[in-house]
Chain A
Amino acid sequence: MLNVKDRDLVIPGQLLGSDLFYDINCFTENGSVFSCVEGMVRVDGKKVKMVPSNGVYLPKRDDVVIGVISDVLVGKWLVDINSPYLCAMRAEEVSRDAAKKDLSQFFKVGEIITAKVADVDEVYSCQLIKPWKVEAGLIIDVGPKRVPRVVGKQKSMLNMIRDKTGSRIIVGQNGKIWLKGGNVDLAVSTIKRIEKYAQTQGLTDQIAELLDKESAAAGGRFAREEPCSCGHEEEHAENDSF
């Protein structure tokens, strides 16, 4: 039985219904399902799912993230990935005989990398693999819970922004987005707009219209640059939003 409709706004502790399948943003008590965050509820038959409006990033396997090297240790780096938990990255990711080398010749403290989350355990300690050093461009912050909308269904939104602004973009699932080349200003303002109105219906179409209008005003399209060799630009974990 359902107590809410699809796309209803709910607050923590609100009754969603009983005898339902639910996700991590809900909890159950005596057979009834409640929401535990504020946000929008999505209903699909007997499945309910909460789309939270805010929250911190918790590392998940296969996510591409953008992080800052926060410490160089013996045989590994510690990386700040905009989450309550630091991530470790093993020296073997960049060198076969890492034990003999000083790791700061590869990545120093304060340098920015994009990498992929390999393993996460129950207390969220995790390993990063396939690092790529970010050396130019711009990094912006968006709410980690709103990143799926920036990427869009099958990357529709992201590819559209790339096409229409000509920018190279890497979206970290942790809420950090790297941009370089093309009409960066337009790309940034578009992403900020997507973040603000994240769950508007028909958002992709509205953004497409807006991008056309503003890129024409900015003097036509930019040619898109070649993507980097790391593959992170194409490697976004499939977005799990509806």
Chain B
Amino acid sequence: MSGGDNDVVLIKGNKRLDGRGFDELRDIKMEVSVLERAEGSAYIEWGKNRVIVGVYGPRELHPKFLQDPTRAMLRCVYNLAPFSVDERKKPGPDRRSVEISKVCAEALSSVVMLERFPNTVIDVYVEVLQADAGTRCAGLTAASLALADAGIPMKDLVAACSAGKVQGQIVVDLMKEEDNFGQCDLPMAIIPRKSEVVLLQMDGKLSRDEFKQAYKMAVDGCMKVYEMQKNTLLGSMNKFVGVEGGVENGD
């Protein structure tokens, strides 16, 4: 975010640069069980974002002194691929990805029933293959799908979406240009069943009323994302109950 550059036109008429209305999300495509070796996995295409998530575990935690006999530990690694952004990103963890890993792990810990797996660790690897603003929301959304796919007990899914302020207008799900030249970005993740907030960050400035409006729009966005997550998971189980393909011909 460069603090709101007013020379760049981001809103024309009532439409945004890519023709979306203020409360419209980008196109989202989700898929689960994309990796053979991981316990659970998910892939999400959110506008131009491409994120793949693998879940490993619960598995033994080493070093042993980190083990907690009352609960499992949930680790999250968020990583931007060197080729995911315009200018090559130096590989490896940096300040930003360490922070995002931490907030994502905390958001996911609030839904996963960690007390079911004492002394173990659940590893969530979020790999961003292509970034176009809102990668932590896409990553979290995919991560909760991957956890569900791994069969790890959870109280609910986590759905995430961002809102923000662009040219004085509150909009939902910012894309790269809006993120770079807008005035505020507000990524948020919720537990849809109870509308509890598990992640809320703000980069930029909003007045109290603007915040309320952005918050409401982000929650609405999350709910739309949740519906898509739900359909993806239900669709992935069609073979399991024999609705899709047949025992006879499917191999």
**Chain A residues with a Cβ under 8 A of chain B:** 7, 9, 11-13, 25, 27, 34, 36-40, 52-56, 84-86, 122-124, 145, 189, 193, 196-201, 203, 206-207, 209-210
Contact = CB atoms under 8 A, between A and B. Distances in A.
Interface string B74-106: 000000000000000000000000000000000
A34 B155 contact: yes
Interface string B43-62: 00000000000000111100
Given A193-B247, A203-B247, A56 B240 contact: no
Given A53-B237, A201-B242, A210-B247, A12 B154 contact: yes
Given A12-B148, A54-B151, A56-B151, A7 B241 contact: yes
Contact of B241 (A123, A199, A206): A199
B105 to A, nearest CB: 18
B152 interface: yes
The 6 closest A-B pairs by CB, nearest first: A200-B242, A55-B151, A13-B156, A54-B151, A36-B153, A12-B154
Contact of B237 (A12, A36, A40, A86): A40
B242 A85 contact: no
B239 A145 contact: no
Give chain B's interface secondary structure class: loop
A54 B40 contact: yes
Given A13-B155, A85-B119, A54 B239 contact: no
Given A201-B242, A210-B248, A38 B156 contact: no
Interface in B96-134: 111, 113, 117-120
B31 to A, nearest CB: 15
Size class of the contact patch on chain B: 35 or more
A200 B241 CA distance: 4
Contacts of B40: 54
Nearest to A144: B151
A76 B239 CA distance: 43
5 contacts: A12-B153, A36-B154, A123-B69, A193-B250, A206-B247
B151 A52 contact: yes
Given A53-B240, A193-B251, A11 B157 contact: yes
A199 B193 CA distance: 28
B122 to A, nearest CB: 9
Nearest to A206: B247
Contact of A197 (B59, B156, B247): B247
Nearest to A29: B155
Contacts of B248: 206, 209-210
A150 to B, nearest CB: 14
A206 B249 CA distance: 11
Contacts of A54: 39-40, 149-151
Contacts of B29: none
Given A39-B237, A197-B245, 4 more contacts: A40-B237, A56-B151, A84-B57, A84-B58
Contacts of B154: 12-13, 36-37
Contacts of A203: 242, 247
A203 B250 CA distance: 13
A38 B241 contact: no
A122 B71 CA distance: 11
A144 to B, nearest CB: 9
A13 B194 CA distance: 10
A122 B246 CA distance: 41
Contacts of B250: 193, 196-197
A27 B240 contact: no
A73 to B, nearest CB: 15
B230 interface: yes
A53 B109 CA distance: 22
B215 to A, nearest CB: 22
A209 B247 CA distance: 10
A13 B50 CA distance: 26
A51 B193 CA distance: 22
Contact of A38 (B233, B245, B246): B233
